[in-house]
Structure formats: structure tokens, C-alpha cells
Structure 1
């Protein structure tokens, strides 16, 4: 049962970076999901797929996996340039705004 250690990416629907400051240890699925014939829900007998551990940094997550004998794979995050403007959207409503409001 292989575990993946990665840093989650930001939500595509927002410009914020919330919930991206930590590292996650997640187990890969040991068996495929199957559809329940009565209700149509998906499920499996693999309970390790429900485990998701969060760590403050990568080294702590790797140390945890090694101490517990969990084979792991580390996925490095792709860095991106932060999109921070000088005053940003809040400048549109600033009390010391200079110039006419154009929109």
C-alpha cells in the first residue's frame, strides 16, 4: 500500500492560497470502487483510502512514513509566482483614492 506525500494546490475557483500551507500523506486505493446495486452509491472495502494525514512540513511527513514502515512517494509542488498587486481590488474603494471611478 503506497502512500503519496504532496502539498495540495490551491482551489481553481479562488485566487487565495488557503489550505495549501501543509503537506498531505494519502494512501493509494488498494481496490477499485464498485457500485452498490440497490442505492447506486460507490464504495469499496479499502478503508485506508479514507485516511488523509496533514503535516506542517515535508520532512515530518517523510519521517512519519519511515517510522511506520509505509512505502511512500513524494510529489514536489510546482512553484508559481504570486499574483499580488500593489493595492489590489481594495484600492477601488479606498478613501484616499485619486481620480474618477471608471467602472
Structure 2
């Protein structure tokens, strides 16, 4: 039973950074998921795949996993590259391509 400890990335449906500061501990699925032929829903016999614990810091998540004897893998977050832009840059005289409508 292997657990992943990571910080979730922001979703495409949000523009803010909400819910991306907490660290998450979730278990890898031990069994493959399959479709239920009657309903078409995805099902699995592995109940650990439903567990998702959140922690304020990485160290708290690691300490929890060590305390309970859970094998874990820490995935460090990739910080997004910040591109600083200003609206006035659209009309700058030193643009690479001239601004047109």
C-alpha cells in the first residue's frame, strides 16, 4: 500500500490559488478500476483509493505516514513561472511585432 504526498495544482476551472496550499496524502489504487455493465459507473474493490487526507505542511503528512507505517512517496510541487505583464506593453514602441487591429 503506497501513498502519495503532494500539493495539488490549481484546476483549470479556477483562476485563483485556493486549495493549493495544503498537502494531500492519498493512496495508490491497488486494483484496476472497471465499468459497471449495468449502470456504466466506474467501480473498484479497493477502498483505500477513496481516502484523501489533507495536511497544512509537508512535514505533518510525512510524520503521519511514518507514525502509521505507511510507505509513501513525496512529490515536490513545480512552481509556475511568473510572467509579469502590463496592458501598456501592448502599445510599446519597442514591440517585436507592430500592434494592429
Shorter chain as denominator, the TM-score bin is: 0.7 to 0.9
**Comparing 40-49 with 7-16, which one deviates more in the overlay?**
7-16
**How many aligned positions are there?**
87
Which structure 2 segments of 5+ residues have no match? 88-101
3-state DSSP of counterpart to 2:77: coil
In structure 1, the residue matched to 2:95 is none
Work out the CA distance in 1 between the residues paired with 2:60 and 2:82. 26
- Residues 70-89 of structure 1: matches in 2 within 5 Å? 70-82=70-82
Shift of the 57–20 alpha-carbon distance from structure 1 to 2, 3 Å rule, reads same
RMSD: 1.9
TM-score norm. by structure 2 comes to 0.77
In structure 2, the residue matched to 1:12 is 12
TM-score norm. by structure 1 comes to 0.76
Work out the CA distance in 2 between the residues paired with 1:45 and 1:76. 29
Which structure 1 segments of 5+ residues have no match? 89-103
Does 2:62 match 1:67? no
Shift of the 14–82 alpha-carbon distance from structure 1 to 2, 3 Å rule, reads farther
